[in-house]
Structure 1
Amino acid sequence: MKNLEYFFLFLALIAEIVGTIGGFGSSVFFVPLANFYFDFQSVLALTALFHFSSNLSKIALFRRGLNKNLLIYIGIPSIILVIIGGVLTKLFKTNLLEIALGAFLVILSLVLLLKSEWVLKPNKINALLGGSVSGFVAGLLGTGGAIRGLTMAAFNLEKSSFIATSAFIDFFVDSSRTIVYYLNGYMKKELFIYIPFLFVIGFIGTYIGRYLLKFISQDNFKRVSLGLILLIGLATLIKIIFTH
């Protein structure tokens, strides 16, 4: 057990709790934090496995709220584009992907903080486009849940329906990219020790996040979450500057 990064596991738990409450998904926090401990390809593999477990728990806890129409219109393009994004990771140097991740987090958080009242129109075209972009970014950079969350917010779903639908979509997206990352050679033996811990953390973090939702205003928490995403994005860019 001496090879385990215990503080990393603690951060994974925090990422799952915050991601559940904020509605962005854990990967928007997990990916940049994990990148401080592992190489980017390993982070992609760990994220897919971690998300797989956390989505199973969300499905178990919130399954009754599933919106089947959005599952089709957002889910199908997400699955197709996550495979394409995952395949393309082999064509880019990891430092370029890290820069893209940091820039994505900074831009996304600033846009959502400054344009908090801005929403997409709830139509099929936006659902298809949002699903496509979120899937591609998830495959390429490891995190696309925030884009999908913005797309789903347009349809004014009840809280449990939002989480359930997002979890079902994520389940199929993560299953697809796990296969791609495995074929890419990202599933390294030294990462296997983390898999059981991340599965347990996924369930515990989701349960705690679900419990805290009863007491926390999601709108206020989203602003705090976006501030954290901005700081993490800036920290990611600073790390790249000093290490490359």
Structure 2
Amino acid sequence: MEYIIICLVAFAASILTFFSGFGLGTILLPVFSLFFPVEIAIALTGVVHFFNNIYKFVLVGKNANKNVLIYFGLPAVIASFIGAYLLLNITDLKPLYQYQISNQVFTITPVKLIIAILLIVFAILELLPFFKKLHFKKKHLPIGGLLSGFFGGLSGHQGALRSAFLINAGLTKEVFIGSAVVISAFVDFTRISIYSTRFLKSGLKDNIPLILCATISAIIGAYFGNKLLKKITLEFIQKLVAILLISISIALGAGLL
């Protein structure tokens, strides 16, 4: 059942990313969290996100700007090490609280609470008009790279911050997309390398068929999204996705997932 649900969500989410304002990882992570511990869900989402980025890399990577890759991409990769390392360590922290409903015990752990908060924050940021209107100068690119890379390594949320800093860097649409894809792919590769030191022993490698199916579904979704929906902006879809993300995040933070 998880194969069907995850693949359908990967396909739909990949299409939605072209006009919802949310990234594939932001939408897919909560769904993986329904079936796996949150730290494994982050790693699984990262792998699917990475291979989906490789597909996009082949299509638009040649348009990337060298200066953006150096001044934004390099700090992002370095910071992603720190974020991924932090994730590995907070998974070992003791539960914060336990409570019981009927005969079922629910546990609130630091990693669940942190990821839930980040999901809510980034879902809200994607919808706030003022965030999209923020202007950063080129001299702020290294700062943006550090922030984007850190949160990318910690939870996979790198797209919102990356876009906020790059959107006003004087790039053409093609260069902006190409640079974003290349940076995202390198951050994904970096954090997956860190995750693998721990999570391969926790069942990550046992889910390779699921990763492949979800990745193929996401790539197919990206293809159709690029062909059919890249010019569409639906405010209703944005709000609906945000509400669903926030609802799942609350359940995750409360230990219900």
Task: Name the TM tier (shorter chain).
Answer: 0.7 to 0.9
Provide the residue aligned with 1:188 in structure 2: 204
Unaligned ranges ≥5, structure 1: none
Letter in 1 for 2:209: I
Provide the residue aligned with 1:121 in structure 2: 136
> Partner of 2:254: helix, strand, or coil?
helix
Confirm or deny: 8 A CA contact 2:72 2:142 kept in the other structure: yes
Unaligned ranges ≥5, structure 2: 93-108
Provide the residue aligned with 1:133 in structure 2: 147
Q: Which runs of 4+ in 1 moved over 6 A?
A: none
Provide the residue aligned with 2:193 in structure 1: 179
Provide the residue aligned with 1:102 in structure 2: 116
The TM-score normalised by the length of structure 2 is 0.81
> Partner of 2:188: helix, strand, or coil?
helix
Letter in 2 for 1:124: K
The TM-score normalised by the length of structure 1 is 0.85
Structure 1 residue 231, shift from structure 2 partner = 3.1
Letter in 1 for 2:134: V
Structure 1 residue 116, shift from structure 2 partner = 5.0
Question: What is the CA RMSD across the aligned residues, in angstroms?
Answer: 2.5
> 1 CA distance for matches of 2:68 and 2:89?
32
> Alignment identity in percent?
27
Provide the residue aligned with 1:9 in structure 2: 7
> Partner of 1:243: helix, strand, or coil?
coil
Provide the residue aligned with 1:201 in structure 2: 217
Provide the residue aligned with 2:250 in structure 1: 237
> 2 CA distance for matches of 1:45 and 1:107?
20
Between stretches 37-46 and 192-201, larger displacement belongs to 192-201
Aligned residue pairs: how many?
238
Question: Is 1:152–2:166 an aligned residue pair?
Answer: yes
> 2 CA distance for matches of 1:231 and 1:196?
25
